[in-house]
Amino acid sequence: MPTRATAKRHPHDDAPDTTAAFRRLAALPPGPERATLRDEIVEAWLPMADRLAGRFRSRGENLDDLRQVAALGLVKAVDRFDPGLGNAFESYAVPTITGEIKRHFRDHMWTLHVPRRVQELRNRVRCAAQDLSQTVSGRRPTVTEIAEHAHLSEEEVRAGQEALESFSALSLDAELPGSDDGHSLGDALGAPDPALDTVVDREAVRERLAALPERERAILYMRFFGDMTQSGIAEELGISQMHVSRLISRCCGRVREQVMRDEEA
């Protein structure tokens, strides 16, 4: 019995009407007749698989290889499709074939190492989404639905979904999305904060500074935190600039020696 109908209800030439053939396939026991019918169905849908493979021709992979991967996805779709659910085969086959092609890119063309755990999550999320595509129509399965179907947490599903969309790396010279001033990804990267060493030094002298007499603490604060000159400090306290200079030198030397003794101890 031919699998391609003479009058098709679908507008695309590569989408044959194989509804009756799938019903026969589901009813047939394993054997030569079933295998022949299965091959006929696969052959009837191959043009659509080739078309889907062609969408990925500009991603650096050989088109013949992509066609083979698409054909493998088509075979999986034919074997897994359940006509009893009442959905059109195309609505199940398209995401299955496309998912197989994308998986090929992720498995063979990733530029970054992906932990095995994330790869497993990606595969479970992908398979669950394909299975659910037969039961939900007109929309994608939600995170909650995928989590329930795959027995995963919603956080794990989101991690798997991120892995599904992240198999290539961008150059740091790539322009930031939405940027109109030429800024690149490299411009958005952070750098070591030069003030981190200052934080360590401040913590090292904190207790020693607190032990100084009040006037000496005030002089150091005005000089190093208030950014005042020695003459300004002298005028503020009513003492000579030379006296201020000696006090600063003496306080800094004392604190330095105490901190060094603490480090040696």
> Phi then psi for 184, rounded to 5 degrees?
-105, 175
Q: What is the mean pLDDT of residues 51-66?
A: 83
Question: Is residue 175 helix, strand or coil?
Answer: strand
Cα 65 from chain centroid (whole Å): 26
Q: What is the mean pLDDT of residues 102-120?
A: 72
| Residue 185 falls inside a structural domain | no
Pick from 115, 110, 126, 96: which is nearest to 60 by CA? 110
CATH code of the domain containing 159: 1.10.10.10
Pick from 37, 47, 32: which is nearest to 78 by CA? 37
Q: Considering just the CA atoms, what is the radius of gyration of the chain in Å? A: 35
- Predicted pLDDT at 168: 58
- Predicted pLDDT at 263: 75
Query: Sign of the CA dihedral 160, 141, 108, 42?
Result: positive
Question: Residue 216 is part of which domain span?
Answer: 196-264
| Same-domain pairing of 128 and 145 | yes
| Same-domain pairing of 37 and 67 | yes
The two tokens of residue 78 are 């034919």
Q: Per-residue pLDDT tens for 132-182?
A: 887 877 788 899 999 999 999 999 999 888 877 665 566 677 776 666 666
| Same-domain pairing of 164 and 203 | no
- Taking the whole predicted model, whether its pTM rises above 0.95 is answered as no
pLDDT band at 32 (very low <50, low <70, confident <90, very high): very high
| Same-domain pairing of 7 and 73 | yes
| Same-domain pairing of 18 and 104 | yes
Asked if pLDDT for residue 19 goes beyond 80, the answer is yes
| Same-domain pairing of 120 and 103 | no
